[in-house]
Structures are given as structure tokens and as C-alpha cells.
Amino acid sequence: MNGDTFKMIIYLSFGTILMENFVLSNFLGICPFLGTSKKLSSAVGMGVAVVFTMAIASAATWVTNEYLLVPNGLEYLQTIAFILVIAGLVQFIEMLIKKFLPPLYNALGIYLPLITTNCAVLGVAILNVQYEYNLWQSVLYSASAGASFMVATIIFAGIREKIDFNDIPKCFKGLPIALITAAFLSMAFTGFQGLFG
Amino acid sequence: MNNRSLNEMTKGIIKENPTFVLVLGMCPTLAISTAAKNGFMMGIAATIVLIFSNLLISLLRKVIPDRVRIPCYITLIAGLVTIVQLLLQAYLPDLNRTLGIYIPLIVVNCIILARAEMFANKNTPWHSVLDGLGMGLGFTLSLTCIGIIREFLGTGSFFGMKLTGDIPMPTIFIMPAGAFLVLGTLMAVIAKIKDKPMEIKDCSDCPMNCSGKQDKEENR
């Protein structure tokens, strides 16, 4: 492995999680970020499900793009093709896990369908094409993007569990304080900018 | 235009504002509102998709089988978004570059699917178009408002016009953290006005009724 590949791997993984956090600096996947961060356990479950689905979905959409859309000059159908591939794939993974890995299904099953319409999954598929990543770079980038979602959601869920015990003004209860917490979290992550010079 | 039609249109602007009351479509709201103009144009793009998706889904509401309605809606919406994206690429390339990935992501914008599911598949095409128009205008209005606030606080401009001269402005407001901060504060103000705390919608009771909910019904 030469130096450039190593740099690329570090940049794609840690750079995506810390500097280009999908939730906190790209605003992708805000709905599940807010929706599943009430309890730490559900944040972990959703996070794992997102990493897993994003890695597989990005491989599938990369193959679709490279071998189906580009050779036939159908790039303009990208959005439709990707959303159908992702929706079909998530359903398929769900059925597969339900059949062969019931314990995993019990842990992650309820989160999988929510991912179909998660903008982070479609977003990462489109970004892979935009950045012209090859298959392995796409999968690494997408898994890291999923991990960045997981890191943000878990930290956020931890803070929200504590906020529940605090005495805050009535009008800030619920969504407003959650958004302001996210603002401080995002500000903290800004500190990682320039980590790799 | 009778009373009901007027009501379908105006309810989306204030009473059922998609951003501030229904709390839908957070991703583009936070990402695109760095400047008033961007927010406005994003809102218009979403409005166009929303009007046509509501119209088509309402026209097809008796044709689409109930079990496969969500995939049908998504495909339909994806087609409309592609049309808007190609038009933007052709006629407004600069804007297309600014809005970037958030244009194709209109497909997964909750507002559009939620209106299809909550309104268009139960109502006549005319009312659905008005609902789409109202909701779209409500979305545009809130995006523009947040854009105006962030643009002014962050750069001291109003729709690109410099107002504050040489006074340095806190750029944090046009950075990602500023988006959360401004929206959070606005939500608190609205909760104060309505005198009712703003709840976070859990994914399980999200109006989108995506496959998550169907699953629960099956398990019952």
C-alpha cells in the first residue's frame, strides 16, 4: 500500500466522520437524527442500521450507475434509478434478515424501513457519482458517512437523555432545545476542520 | 373560488406551515437557508414539484393499488424532480450549482410524500393542486424568512445587498451551526406565541406513513 492510498483511506474515513459530518455539516438525515435520538439504545440501533445500509446501497447504486446508466447514456435517469434501487434493496435486506438472522432483525428491523426515505442514503449515492469515486472508495465513503451519522446521533442522544432532567424555559422544551443542542454539537465539530491540514 | 378552495390554499401558509407547524423537510431548510435568495429558489423548486405531484397523485388515486402506493408515489415524484433538475441545469446553471445535491434530494423531502399520503390520495385534483400550492408557498415563505435572518446576521446583507457597511458580522450564522441556532430560536418563539411546547416527532408517528408504519400494522 503506498502513501497516497493510505492518505485517501484516512481522508475518506476520519475526514468524513469528523470534518464533513453528514448530519452536522451537510444536513443529510436530519429527520432520523431528531427522530431516533430520544434514547441511547435506539440511536445505536439506527446508527448501525444506517452504516450497514449505506455501505450496501452505495455499492448497488455504483454498479447501477457504472454498468447500466453510463453505457446506455441514461445518466439523466440517475435520481429515479437510485431511489428505486435503494428502496428495493432495503426491502430485500429486511426480508433476508427476517428469514436468516431473527435476533438481528429484532434489534434492527424496525429501523430498516425508515432508511428507505432517508435523504442521507440517496445523498451519498449521488455524491459518489459526483466525486467520481471507484467502487471501493464509494463503499468506504458511504460507510464512513453512515458512521458520521451514528457518531452524531449517539452523542446527541446522550445529551438529550440528560436534558430531560434539566429545568429549561417552557417554550424551549422539545424541538427548540434539541436544535440548539445540535447547533453547539455542530460548532464543536467545526473544531475538527483543518485536522489534516 | 369558493370558501373551501380558498381554505385549502391558505392553510399551508400559516396555520399548517410545513416547516414551523408540521416540522417537515428539515434537511433542505437547514442546508439551503444560508442566503435569502437560495431559500426562495429552493422553495419555488419544491413548490413546482409539490403542485404537480399532488395533481398527478390525486388523478391516479383510484388507479394506484393501495399496497404499492408508496413506491408508486416515489417513482412519480422522482420523475418530476428529474424534470425540474434538467430545466434548472439548462436555464439556471448557477443556481443549480448552489443548490447542488439538494435538488435531487427533493425526492426524499418529507413534505412532498407527506402531502401525497395525507391529502392528495383522498381529495379531488383541484383541491390537491391548491393544497400543493399553499404548502409550497408556506415552505418558500419559511425558507426565505430563515434565509433573510441568517444572511443578515452572518453577512449583513439583504438579498445580496450589503446593509451594514464595514461592520464585521458573526459569520457563524452562515455556517452549519448557525442554521440549527436560528431555527431552534425561531421554533422557541413560535412555541411561546402558541403557548404550547414544540414536540419532536418520533419516526414512529411521523405523518409520512412510510414502510415503518405499514410494518407495525402487519405485526399487529
DSSP calls for chain B? --HHHHHHHHTTTTTT-TTTTS---HHHHHHHTTSHHHHHHHHHHHHHHHHHHHHHHHHTTTTS-GGGHHHHHHHHHHHHHHHHHHHHHHH-HHHHHHHGGGTGGGGG-HHHHHHIIIIITTS-HHHHHHHHHHHHHHHHHHHHHHHHHHHHHHHSEETTEE-STT----GGGGSHHHHHHHHHHHHHHHHHHHTS-BPPPPGGG-TT--HHHHHHHHH-
B99 neighbors A117 (Cβ within 8 angstroms)? no
Between helix B125-155 and helix B3-10 the angle, nearest 10°, is 30
User: Is a pLDDT exceeding 50 seen at residue B15?
Assistant: yes
Measure the CA–CA gap between B145 and A195, rounded to whole angstroms. 34
User: Is a pLDDT exceeding 80 seen at residue B62?
Assistant: yes
> Would you call A178 and B184 a contact, using CB atoms and an 8 Å cutoff?
yes
Q: How far is CA B199 from the centre of its chain?
A: 19
Closest-CA distance, B180 to chain A, in angstroms, reads: 5
Among B74, B203, B210, the residue with its CB nearest the CB of A36 is B203
User: Is a pLDDT exceeding 50 seen at residue B209?
Assistant: no
> Would you call A172 and B191 a contact, using CB atoms and an 8 Å cutoff?
yes
The predicted structure's pLDDT at residue B91: 93
Q: What is the value of pTM for the model shown?
A: 0.87
Mean pLDDT of chain A: 86
Measure the CA–CA gap between B76 and B72, rounded to whole angstroms. 6
Among B28, B85, B192, the residue with its CB nearest the CB of A171 is B192
User: Is a pLDDT exceeding 50 seen at residue B119?
Assistant: yes
Task: Give the three-class secondary structure for A174.
Answer: strand
> Would you call B211 and A127 a contact, using CB atoms and an 8 Å cutoff?
no
Task: Select the highest-mean-pLDDT range: A97-111, A138-152, A166-180, B15-29.
Answer: A138-152
Give the pLDDT band of residue B203 (cuts 50, 70, 90): low
CA-based nearest residue in chain A for residue B97:
A130
Question: A residues 129-168 near B, CB within 8 Å?
Answer: 130
The predicted structure's pLDDT at residue B48: 94
The predicted structure's pLDDT at residue B55: 95
Give the pLDDT band of residue A155 (cuts 50, 70, 90): very high
Measure the CA–CA gap between B136 and B46, rounded to whole angstroms. 7
> Would you call A79 and B82 a contact, using CB atoms and an 8 Å cutoff?
yes
B147-164: per-residue pLDDT in tens?
999 999 998 888 888 888
Neighbours of A48 (CB within 10 A): 17
* In chain A, where the domains are located: 38-153
A33-73: per-residue pLDDT in tens?
887 888 888 888 888 888 888 899 999 999 999 999 989 98
Closest-CA distance, A192 to chain B, in angstroms, reads: 14
Neighbours of A128 (CB within 10 A): 24
Higher-confidence position of A143 and A97: A143
The predicted structure's pLDDT at residue A88: 85
Higher-confidence position of B49 and A11: B49
Measure the CA–CA gap between A81 and A61, rounded to whole angstroms. 8
Q: DSSP per residue over A39-63, as a string?
A: SHHHHHHHHHHHHHHHHHHHHHHHH
Task: Give the three-class secondary structure for B198.
Answer: strand
User: Is a pLDDT exceeding 90 seen at residue B145?
Assistant: yes
DSSP B20: T
